[in-house]
């Protein structure tokens, strides 16, 4: 199990926009070069971030920019914006058909579901503790920007 790379791509994109968006026209090609992915992937992520009202995008060569205060955007907001959980809303995918005739198969949901929900809530609470402002500050310190 792994959270989609859209989450880290979106976070990378937002840090670039926050640090360089005022001085540079940040386009999907520019972001794709920074992230190391195809511009189509960047455009899809930008679309999700825009739908979550985290950024504004000007089509063509216009670029993108963050529209909220950096201190108001948490990692959890980014995680939600790029649909890290998919349609299920659950971090942990569960195999669909455990064997009801097996002693373990018929009880595995009762054994695991509650624990996995607790783990998901803990991750989400932790993501709520870090803001985009925190990441931007760390990036500035580490890259001498």
* Domain that residue 104 falls in: 6-143
Q: What is the DSSP letter of 72?
A: G
List the pLDDT tens digit at each of the 145 positions of the chain.
456 789 999 999 999 999 998 888 899 999 999 999 999 999 999 999 999 999 998 876 678 999 999 999 999 999 999 976 766 777 787 777 899 999 999 999 899 989 999 999 999 999 999 999 999 999 999 987 5
Round to whole Å and give the CA distance between 58 and 4.
Answer: 26
Q: In terms of Cα–Cα distance, which of 56, 75, 52 is closest to 125?
A: 75
CA dihedral of 73, 128, 78, 66, whole degrees rounded to 10:
10
Q: Which of 72, 29, 73, 20 is nearest to 49 (CA)?
A: 73
Residue 116 falls within a domain, yes or no? Answer: yes
Domain count, the chain: 1
pLDDT given for residue 143 in this prediction: 84
Residue 91 lies in a domain: yes
Q: Which ranges of the chain does DSSP label H, i.e. alpha helix?
A: 6-20, 28-35, 39-51, 75-81, 108-127, 132-143
Question: What is the predicted pLDDT for the residue at 101?
Answer: 93
pLDDT of residue 55: 96
Give me the CATH number covering residue 80.
Answer: 1.10.10.10
Position 77 in a domain:
yes
Of the candidates 23, 28, 53, which has an alpha carbon nearest to the alpha carbon of residue 39?
28
Q: Is the pTM of this model over 0.95?
A: no
Is residue 13 included in any domain, yes or no? Answer: yes
Which tokens sit at 77? 């907001």
- How far apart CA 50 and CA 107 sit, in angstroms, is 42
- Please give the pLDDT value at position 1: 47
């Amino acid at each position: 199990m792994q959270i989609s790379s859209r989450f880290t791509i979106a976070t990378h994109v937002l840090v670039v926009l926050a640090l360089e968006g005022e001085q540079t026209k940040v386009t999907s090609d520019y972001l794709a070069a920074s992230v190391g992915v195809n511009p189509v992937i960047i455009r899809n992520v930008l679309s999700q971030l825009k739908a979550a009202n985290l950024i504004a995008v000007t089509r063509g060569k216009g670029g993108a920019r963050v529209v909220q205060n950096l201190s108001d955007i948490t990692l959890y907001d980014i995680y939600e914006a790029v649909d890290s959980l998919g349609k299920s809303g659950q971090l942990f995918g569960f195999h669909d058909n455990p064997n009801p005739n097996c002693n373990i198969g018929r009880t595995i949901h009762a054994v695991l579901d509650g624990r996995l929900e607790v783990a998901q809530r803990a991750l989400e609470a932790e993501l709520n503790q870090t803001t985009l402002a925190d990441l931007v500050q760390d990036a500035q310190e580490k890259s001498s920007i």
